[in-house]
Amino acid sequence: MKITDMKLYHVKPRWLFLKIETDEGISGWGEPIVEGRALTVATAVEELKRYLIGEDPLRIEHHWQVMYRGTFYRGGPVLVSAISGIEQALWDIKGKFYNMPVYEMLGGKVRETIRMYSHCGGATPDEIAANAKKRMEAGFTAIKIGVDAPVRQVDTLAFVENVTNKFAAIREAAGSGLDIAIDFHGRVSPAMSIRLAAALEPYYPMFIEEPVLPENVDALLRVAQSTSIPIATGERLFTRWGFREALEKGAVAIVQPDLCHAGGIFEGRKIAAMAEVHYASVAPHNPLGPISLASCLQLDACTPNFLIQEHPSMAEKWDLGEGYLKRPFVVEGGHIAVPQGPGLGIEINEEALIERGYGGDWDTPRLAYDDGSFAEW
């Protein structure tokens, strides 16, 4: 079997889908994307296409090594995200070739259902508490809220009270049975993260995500050592090498590889194995499309130290694949059943990709402080 073609689709709201075709009529799908850099990643995929055309799609590990190590420069979000989407599509092909799900080729499933958490927002404590109750009514047993931006390096007591009051309102409305995670999104300095964690600790957060930016592991460690709240990070780390230091130093309790950024499904499994050695859990990051979700579910199904799977807001129902998948995913009781079909277990509606196409020019929002200086998004 040989790879014959690779097609890219920019689709709303901000996604990039890849279809890899073969001379045996088997095709596979992946999601190579960096949010706000879809056109750049598409160019990287086209560059890697020159190597892949004519190759055997079943040699996934070999192709990963060549794509990652084949030039003098390695790593980074653009290259590794391009490789990630390609790798997902190759696993989809391989699963269809052998007529089995990807997780069967990675050791087999260790669970029957996959626990999901949903995003939850609100401008006021009452609004966010009401939205959290709606998520519970929909069957979710875990949600994640975020810290409003921008956040100053040393912010006010009023800011801390605003964050804490929202969290407390959810806890009061939902009781002790709902897990509530909170995403600092790298917006918060180490000093403010320590203050915020102390204020939130009485309300038992499930975890704090990205309490600081990922470049300085010692700063992350300082926050982790200051609180009993589990620390999660990893959406902006690439390959197993990117996770090594945080795990070795004990700076993270929950790793969050994004399978569209970190190197793909098998690289995610390697990261999970590293985390297992350090008694850390895995909660794959996923704010993206249905192919990303399908890839995550394959990893979740076969990973013993899997904790919970991020699930987008469902604001447009596109996140479950409605319109894009011939059989969208279904969340029941806050879980998705382990997929049964071959490969990624999905069938793409290509007509919808064309109907909902766009120019790939979605950009990351940019924020500023009151004085006009740049603020982390």
Active site residue 119: no
**Which residues are CB-contacts of 238 (< 8 A; sequence separation ≥ 6)?**
75, 76, 77, 80, 261, 262, 263
311 is catalytic: no
Please tell me the distance from the alpha carbon of residue 184 to that of residue 63, in angstroms, as a whole number.
36
How would you label 248-272 residue by residue, b for 16+ Cβ within 10 Å and e otherwise? eeebbbbbbbbbbbbbbbbbbbbbb
Helix segments in the chain, DSSP class H: 38-52, 60-69, 77-98, 102-105, 125-137, 157-174, 190-200, 217-224, 239-248, 265-277, 290-301, 350-355
Q: Which of 10, 185, 261, 335 is catalytic?
A: 185
- Backbone φ and ψ of 309, nearest 5°: -110, 125
Burial class of residue 154 (count of CB atoms within 10 Å of its CB; 0-12, 13-18, 19+): exposed
- Active-site position among 10, 63, 261, 285: 285
**DSSP secondary structure, 284-342, as one string:** -B--S-HHHHHHHHHHHHT-TTB--EEE---SSSGGGTBTTBSS----BTTEEEPP-SS
Q: CB burial class (10 A; 0-12, 13-18, 19+) of residue 61?
A: exposed
Looking at residue 104, its amino acid is E
- Residues with active-site annotation: 185, 285
